[in-house]
Structure 1
Amino acid sequence: MRLVGLVILVILPSEGFEMPRRVYPRLLEERSSDGRIAMRVHEGLTLNLRRATVAAPKVRVLEEENGKAVTQFYDGKDINQNLYEDEEQLATVELIRDQKGVSMRGLVGPHHRIQPMPVSERSEDDSVPHMIYKIEADDMLDKSLKTTERSGANITERAYGRQARVPDIIYVEVFIVTGKRHYAYYQQTSHLIWYACIMVNFANLRLAAVSSPKVKLVLVGLEKDEKEPYAVVTQDGYLFDELTIKEFQRYAVRRRTDFGRPDAVFLLSGYDVITIHNGQLTEAGLGIGFLSGICTDNYVALGEDKPGLFSGAHTFTHELAHLYRGQTCWNFNGNGYSMKGTYPGMMVSFERFCMGLVDNRANITIRNVTVEIATCKVMCTYTKRAYTRYNVRGYEEMMFQRKDDALDYMQCGDNKVCIQGYCVPKPPEVTDTTKIPEKVT
């Protein structure tokens, strides 16, 4: 670990505090016709849960015991057996039923987490009391590192699901490294694995808009790293993003075989991350990763996370999307199927892209989509039909906007496409790109 002395500009979060809420979740329907479980969390939220598969068949965990490196393997089937998801509510939870009742912990949506209360209190119907907390979410500077390096590595078709002649899903193997500030919170390694699975599956739900083929992240391992030789930390205890990610990249390349040769490696850090913005250091830089690094030696990203609180779930998703963005190295052994020359911007329409930026899609209409040529960012304008007591009609349409990086090979002008954040002339070999719609309704 390296120590540096720096002066930091602090940007305070703007959102107000939300009080925790006590709830008594209960089963409404044990099994529906499609195998789902209906769980009423409170009067305003019912989850329709289906089983989720997040862990690989074998999950490796690297750590040191008595000064010696040790690798242990955990059964993925045991890890996955209590994991459930609701793809509409963007919820991922562990659901356990025993003689004490039904308990759940994890994410009940993109902004709230749930956990059982450590008390023996029961409701009148014998439901287990839980607490729902709002996830602390600071404003994040969108920052990444560009790379033009291409290695010979391929993402291969893996047998986590049923084999298909033309696979519908690409499984991207993710390995997570955690430092002592993070992993020390978890009393048992199994708890750390569970927490990582919730983070990975939250990213899967947010990346569900990618299709042809679909992309699914799979947790293949973790490292509990006590020494963190790559961490560049200030005297005040902040992790400097750019220097750390470069050191971490070299570390991940050296440890690639130890990690099981995954497709992506993520540093989940218990430190607050700082970055340089407009010539000053600020805490607004929550994470950083390499653009399109997933098929190169730059297959790494990092993000801060308060252990146990899922504060880094959005950062984790965002940085892994940077790693995946624009990669063209998919080859599928044995079936003669290749995605070479096919890019995300060719497969995801602007409409689906914009819908993927909003959490609750009910009563949402996309009104306009534009691409900023200078930055290759997509600006989506929406209207939401919402009830109001101040309007005689009982409702009104509210307008709002969202902005994010364009996918590689999305159109940004006449015969131009976005490639790694730049609007450039479309390469002659590319003929099919996502076009900017004249009007979206």
Structure 2
Amino acid sequence: SYTSRRDSEAAESFTVELHVISDEYHQKHFGPMQALIEYISVMVTAVNLRFQSMLGLHIRFKLVGITRSYNDAFAALIVGVLDTWQTLEGLVKYAKEGHISGTYDVLYLLSGRELASIRSNGNVDKNVAGLAYVGQVCTIHAVAEGEDVARSYAGVHTMAHELAHTLGATHDPKDSSNCSWYHGFLMSYEDRGANKYRLSDCSQDEIRKVFRSLKITCIQETATITFSTKNNGTLPGQKVTADKFCELI
């Protein structure tokens, strides 16, 4: 939503309309559709917390669509795992062909499969949790994907990281700056405690820069459906005990 003039000093707001695909290996762990809706809604609530510290621009992801996939026509498999790059391209093609209903700013795949990349030497690297095109929000390439163990919420961090990519954030630099990779912010793979729940100053700058280039048609909310549930505001820790999490993982 566009809540203030571009030339205003007041903080602006961008509600990013999100459509989520739950793939065959993810959605099969949920019974009624409402259970899947509530699960993904809680994930998005948790993702939004990672963006609350943004300065000068309020970012909020709003769940406007869910596709429960039964055949994963977009998926590219290699030795039983998802080929990240080929599947990302498959998602672009899948969306172009009109398989996703409604309007959205970003399309995100929650996969119950393991993700992997083929390296230049031909090796299959399974040390991959997600992938996204950088800064492509509101374009045909506004797609991202990430692993998730169904019902565990384990994929929340990956989802937040990949969605930040779609908004324009790159990985934090491996230097000695206040944005350093080694400080363990959201756009790093390092774990330095609470920093992983927020964006570095550099990531925030990159997202604000992309936002300033967006068309008003992207910033305006256009979806006619919003998935809201009785669990609005509920976080993963309130839904899954530590013992249950360990059992699922």
Provide TM-score, normalisation by structure 1: 0.39
Shift of 1:207: 1.2
Match of 1:267 in 2: 109
Shift of 1:270: 1.1
SS of aligned partner of 1:200: helix
Structure 2 matches for 1:408-423, cutoff 5 A? Answer: none
Q: Matches of 1:296 and 1:408 in 2, distance apart?
A: 20
Identify, as 1 or 2, the structure richer in strand: 1
Q: Matches of 1:243 and 1:302 in 2, distance apart?
A: 11
2:66 is aligned with 1:222: yes
Could you tell me which amino acid in structure 2 is paired with residue 216 of structure 1? Answer: R
Higher relative contact order (CA 8 A, sep 6+): 2
Could you tell me which amino acid in structure 1 is paired with residue 106 of structure 2? Answer: A
Match of 2:139 in 1: 296
Match of 2:230 in 1: none
Q: 2:152 aligns with which of 309, 317, 328?
A: 309
Match of 1:407 in 2: 203
Q: Matches of 1:255 and 1:206 in 2, distance apart?
A: 31
2:120 is aligned with 1:318: no
Work out whether residues 273 and 286 of structure 1, in 8 Å CA contact, stay in contact via their aligned partners in 2. Answer: yes
Work out whether residues 54 and 204 of structure 2, in 8 Å CA contact, stay in contact via their aligned partners in 1. Answer: no
SS of aligned partner of 1:227: coil
SS of aligned partner of 2:180: strand
Q: 1:184 aligns with which of 3, 28, 37?
A: 28
2:183 is aligned with 1:378: no
Specify every segment of 5 or more residues in structure 1 that has no aligned partner in the other structure, as ranges: 1-155, 158-162, 327-343, 345-352, 354-367, 372-376, 383-399, 411-418, 421-441
Work out whether residues 12 and 57 of structure 2, in 8 Å CA contact, stay in contact via their aligned partners in 1. Answer: yes
Q: Matches of 1:261 and 1:300 in 2, distance apart?
A: 13
Structure 2 matches for 1:11-410, cutoff 5 A? Answer: 156-157=1-2, 168-235=12-79, 237-255=80-98, 258-277=100-119, 279=121, 280-325=123-168, 369-370=176-177, 378-379=180-181, 381=183, 406-407=202-203
Specify every segment of 5 or more residues in structure 2 that has no aligned partner in the other structure, as ranges: 185-191, 211-249
Shift of 1:255: 2.6
Q: Matches of 1:222 and 1:310 in 2, distance apart?
A: 16
Identify, as 1 or 2, the structure richer in helix: 2
CA spacing shift, 1:211–1:187, aligned 2, 3 Å: same
CA spacing shift, 1:381–1:291, aligned 2, 3 Å: closer
Q: Matches of 2:70 and 2:162 in 1, distance apart?
A: 23
Q: Matches of 1:301 and 1:311 in 2, distance apart?
A: 16
Could you tell me which amino acid in structure 1 is paired with residue 129 of structure 2? Answer: L
Shift of 1:313: 1.2
CA RMSD of aligned residues (A): 3.4
Shift of 1:369: 4.8
Could you tell me which amino acid in structure 1 is paired with residue 180 of structure 2? Answer: V
Q: Matches of 1:254 and 1:190 in 2, distance apart?
A: 27
CA spacing shift, 1:272–1:209, aligned 2, 3 Å: same
Shift of 1:240: 0.8
SS of aligned partner of 1:302: strand
Q: Matches of 2:62 and 2:70 in 1, distance apart?
A: 24
Provide TM-score, normalisation by structure 2: 0.66
Q: Computing the radius of gyration over CA atoms, which structure comes out larger, 1 or 2?
A: 1
Equivalent residues, number: 190
Work out whether residues 114 and 126 of structure 2, in 8 Å CA contact, stay in contact via their aligned partners in 1. Answer: yes
